Chains A and B, each alone.
Chain A
C-alpha cells in the first residue's frame, strides 16, 4: 500500500486493527492447543471435517463389531470348554460301555455299569443344558430361553426328553452376528449338531437310556447293546465335529478382530490427521505470534508519543 498523506485517526486504526488481528490469530491457536484439534468447525476445513466425521463413524462401527466379537468369543469359548468336558465324559462312557460289552461280564457287573452310566447320563445332560452368565442356554440356538434337553417325565406336561420339544430341530438355528463389514458369523452350533444322531434323529440321552435298560434287562443281548454303542459313537463323532466347528469360528473371530483393530486404528489415524493438531507447528506459531504482537505494541506506543504539538510551547 502506497501511503502518501496519512490521517492521525487512520494511523490509530491501522495499528489497532493490526493488533486485533494478531490477537485473534493467537486466540485461534490457543483454542487449537486447548482442544488439540486443528479443525474446530467445518468451515476451518470442510473436506477435513467431513473426512474426520466419516472416519469416526467407521471407527465406531469397528468398535461395535469388536464388541460383538467379544460376545462371540465368550459364547464360542463357553461352547468349546463345554464340548471339551463333554468329550471327557464321553470317553468315560465309552470305556464303561466297552467293559460291559465284554462277554465275560455278568449281570451284577452290568448292573454296576448301568448305575455308573446313569450318573454319566445326567452329567452329559447337564453339559448339554449349559447356560451362559445371562441364563441363556448355549445349545438352544435362538430358543435360548428353553432347556434343550429336558429330563423325561411322566407327569403333565408330557415331556418326551427330545431336543427342544416345542420346535422341530430343523427350524432351530443360531443367529448371525455382524463381526465386520459384510461378514456375519453364524452361531448355529446347537444341541442338534452336538448331541443328536442325524440319521435316526435320536439324541445321546435316549440312546443311553436304552443302553442302560438293556444292561439291566434279564434278557441282555450283546448285539442290541453293541448297536446302541455304535449309535452313541456316531453321536460322539458329531460332538467332535461340532467342537472343531467352534474352533474354526474362534480362529476366524480372532483374525477378524485383529483386522478390525487395525482398520479402526487406521480410521482413527485418518480422523486425527484430518482435524488433529500438529503441536510443534502450533506452538512455534504461538510464540511467533506473541513476538509479533509484542513488537506491534511497542512500535505503536513509541510512535504515538511523537507529535508536533509537543514542540509548541504553551
Chain B
C-alpha cells in the first residue's frame, strides 16, 4: 500500500495549482466589465477511520465559484434602468434648454425688437425707413419661429433615431441572452459536480445589464440555469432559448413618429406590431425617449406654434382694420400658407386603420386662439358622431358639441376652442383622428408683404393722412395685451409673458430631469460600489493570494520530497 502522504500532498499541489490559476484568472479579468472575482472552494476529504482515530486524506476542490450576490445584481439592474431613463430624458430636454433662451435662437429678443420697431413706426408712420425697419423685424420674428420649430423638429427626428438605435441594442442583447441561455443549460447538464459556468453567467449578467439600460426588464431565474426576461408590461423578451424581436414602424396616427412594439402573428398569420405605450414601459432609455417625445417635446413645439399663430392672427386682424400708406385697406402681414388660416396652421391625421370603403375626413374650420393651449386632440367616431379627448390622456371621450354644420370642442365654461367639420354625414364608428389645432403655425409662418408702403399704420376712419398712426398704436398695445390662455374664464397672459413662462417651464423640466438623472446616477454608482466591493478584483489581495497559493504549492512539494526521504530511510534499513 502506497503511503497516503503522497496522495494528500498531491491533492494539496492540485488545490494550490487551482488556486494559482483562479488568482491569475482574476488578475487577467480585473478590468473586464461585469466580471465577478472567483474563488476556489476547497473541502477536506473525508478522513479514514483507524484504531487510532480519523486520519485526514487531503483536500478536494469542491468548486470554483463567483463572489456574487443576486440581491445586489437585482438592485444594480433596477438602478441601471432608472438612471438610463432620466439620463435619456435629460439629454433631450437639455437640447431645448440650450436654445430656447439663447439671444440668437430664442424668441424673446425677436419679439421685443418687433414691438420696438412698431413703436418707431408709430412715431413716424410716414417714414419709409421706419416702415422697412418694421417689415424686417417682422421677417426676423417669423424666421425665429421657423428656426425654433426646426430645432424641435430635428429633435423629434433625432429622438426617433435614438429609439431605432435603442431597439437595435435591445434585439442584439436579447438574441445573445437567448443563445447564452442555451449554452448555460447545456454546460450545466454536463457538469459533473454541478459547478456553475461562472464566465458564461458573468457574460449573461453583463448582457442583461446592457438590456436593462435600454429597457426595464423583469428577470425570472429558472432551475435549469436559464433566465426568462419580460418587459414591465409583461410582454416576453426572452423565454429560455427564444428571443422575441422588438420592431419599430411609422405611427399610424402620425407619420412623423415611430412606434415601438413586439412582432406578433395575427389570426391570418401576418406579422403585426403590438405597440408599447411609453408610459407602460417603466424605466430604461427607450421609455425615456418615448416619454420625452410624447410629453415634453410635443408640448414645447405646440406652445411655440401657439405663440406664432396668436401673433400672426392678432397682427393680421389689426392690419385688416387699417389703411396702408396709399390709403388702401391693409392686408395680412403674416402668411401661413395658401389655404384658410385655420387649415394652414392645423393638422388632422386620420388613423391608417380607418375605413377605406366609407372614408371620412375632418377639416378644422376655426378656433379661439385666446383660449387654446398646447394640447392636441384624439377624435373618435362613436355612434355616428365625433367624440374627443386630449391626446395622450386615457380619460373618457367627450361628445363634440354640434353647432351645425360644425362640431365644437369646448372648454369647461362652454366656450368654443376648436370648430371642425366632417366630410361624411354617416362616418364609420371607430374611425379616429389626431387633431392638432395649431401645430403647423411656427413652421409655416412667413411675411406676406414685400413693400413698406403696405403696412397699415393709419386707422380706417376719417380722411386718410400719411401721418396717422392710430392703427400702429394697436400693434404697440398688443405687446402688453393678455391675449393667451383665457380658457375657463382665466384672465390670460401676454405673448411675451407666455413665452417667458415657456422658458421657465423648459428650464424647470431640464433642471428636474438633470437633478433626477444625477441622483439616479448617484444611486447607480452607489450600487456599483457595493457590487465592486463584493465582486471586484483587488490587485493587492490577488498578489497576497498568489503568494499564499505559491507557498501552499511549495509546502505540498516539500511534503512529497520529505516523504520520499522518509521512504528511502526505511528502504535503507534493509
Contacts and interface: CB of A to CB of B under 8 A. Distances in A.
A50 B466 contact: no
If over half of B's interface residues share one DSSP class (helix, strand or loop), that class is named, otherwise mixed; here it is helix
A7 B536 contact: yes
A143 B533 contact: no
B108 A43 contact: no
B533 A53 contact: no
Chain B interface size, as a band, is 35 or more
B503 A178 contact: no
Interface stretch (A65-73, A93-101, A204-212): A65-73
A140 interface: yes
Contacts of B458: 142
A1 to B, nearest CB: 7
B70 interface: no
B294 interface: no
A8 B536 CA distance: 7
Contact of A43 (B97, B496, B529): B97
Given A43-B511, A56-B108, A61 B115 contact: yes
A70 B125 CA distance: 15
B124 A53 contact: no
B511 A46 contact: yes
A57 B496 contact: yes
Interface stretch (B167-175, B248-256, B540-548): B540-548
Contacts of A64: 115-116, 119-120
A42 B501 CA distance: 11
A111 to B, nearest CB: 42
A39 B108 CA distance: 16
A53 B537 contact: no
B56 interface: no
B511 A7 contact: no
Interface in A133-172: 134, 136, 140-145, 166-167, 171
B362 interface: no
A307 B539 contact: yes
Interface in B124-151: 124-127
A10 interface: yes
A5 B534 contact: yes
B303 to A, nearest CB: 14
Nearest to A145: B466
Contact of A7 (B119, B499, B526, B533): B533
Interface residues of A, number: 56
B188 interface: no
Contact of B539 (A1, A17, A308): A308
A272 interface: no
Interface in A179-211: 181, 184
Contact of B126 (A41, A136, A308): A136
A49 B525 contact: no
B510 A41 contact: yes
A75 B529 CA distance: 76
Contacts of B31: 9
B302 interface: no
Interface of A: 1, 3-10, 13-14, 17, 41-47, 49-50, 53-54, 56-57, 60-61, 63-65, 67-68, 71-72, 134, 136, 140-145, 166-167, 171, 174-178, 181, 184, 307-309, 312
18 contacts: A3-B529, A5-B538, A5-B541, A8-B536, A13-B532, A41-B510, A43-B510, A44-B507, A50-B507, A53-B499, A61-B112, A64-B120, A134-B126, A145-B126, A171-B462, A308-B539, A308-B543, A309-B543
Given A134-B127, A142-B467, A175-B470, 15 more contacts: A7-B536, A8-B30, A10-B536, A41-B101, A43-B509, A43-B511, A43-B514, A50-B501, A50-B503, A54-B497, A64-B116, A144-B465, A307-B539, A307-B543, A309-B543
Interface of B: 30-31, 37, 94, 97-98, 100-101, 108-109, 111-113, 115-116, 119-120, 122-127, 458, 462-463, 465-470, 473, 476, 479-480, 496-497, 499-501, 503-511, 514, 525-526, 528-529, 532-541, 543-544, 546-547
